Amino acid sequence: MKTKDYRTALLERLQDSEYAVGYLTEVLANESGEAFLIALKDIVDARQENITALSEEAGVTRQTLYKALSKDGNPTFSTINQLLKTLGLQFSVTDRESELV
């Protein structure tokens, strides 16, 4: 029986919006900003988005989007927020104490 590699399986799961939301939420809560950008890039890859079309819809240049999602990216909040909107996602703030119950 042949098994899928981890990345292929992850990208398949990330096509589901609920899974993508959970993935980003977990990374944001427990990892660094760099890890969040990697996770966001994973979602873009999973959805096989055309970077040019995605950048146009998000209102940023293709170069800005590539740089934002790169290992050394340091995007503005606005760029990340626009990208999330374009992917059908959004930031949400919750009370940490209520989540611990």
64: CB partners within 8 A, 6+ apart: 55, 75, 79
The pLDDT assigned to 50 comes to 84
DSSP states along 21-40: HHHHHHHHHHS-HHHHHHHH
Residues 84 and 70 sit within 8 Å (Cβ to Cβ): no
First-to-final CA distance of the chain: 42
Distances in Å between the Cα of 88 and the Cα atoms of 8, 27, 30, 62 are 22, 18, 23, 19
- In the chain, the domains with their CATH numbers are 6-96 (1.10.260.40)
pLDDT in tens, 12-69: 999 999 999 999 999 988 878 888 999 999 999 998 778 888 889 999 999 998 898 8
The pLDDT assigned to 27 comes to 93
The model's pTM: 0.81
